Amino acid sequence: MSSLKHKNITPLLGICVEDNELISVYDFLSGGNLEENLHGNSKETAVLSWELRFKPAVEIVEALNYLHNECSRPVIHRDVKSSNIRLSNEFEPKVVVMTVENLHKCFNPQCICFRCYRSVICG
């Protein structure tokens, strides 16, 4: 997952598994997540106007197109939701490809990992 290179995908910098605890490490993005900004779930975050919602929506679609059609091994996210999209100060969206929930599934000893031909499925 760390080989994915797109301006709207947050690179996975590392993971740590210790005592059944799993931590994923990404770049810090101070804008919070898209869910907080769309619905005003955070006290510090103002709700995005409709004008500010359009550009991130297009950029998220571009990131998903990259994952599905432009990677050497296409990635199927399977967990795209507003809480898995982080925002910079300038409201530039960054899709989190490998979430903690997905990592837990991969490290679960009873997990059966499925692979599609020439694809990686996350989730």
Name all domains of the chain by residue range, CATH numbers in brackets.
Answer: 9-121 (1.10.510.10)
DSSP state of 10: E
Quick: pLDDT tens for 18-50. Answer: 777 777 788 888 888 888 888 876 565 566 678
Q: Looking at the annotation, which residues are catalytic?
A: 79
Is 0.85 topped by the overall pTM? no
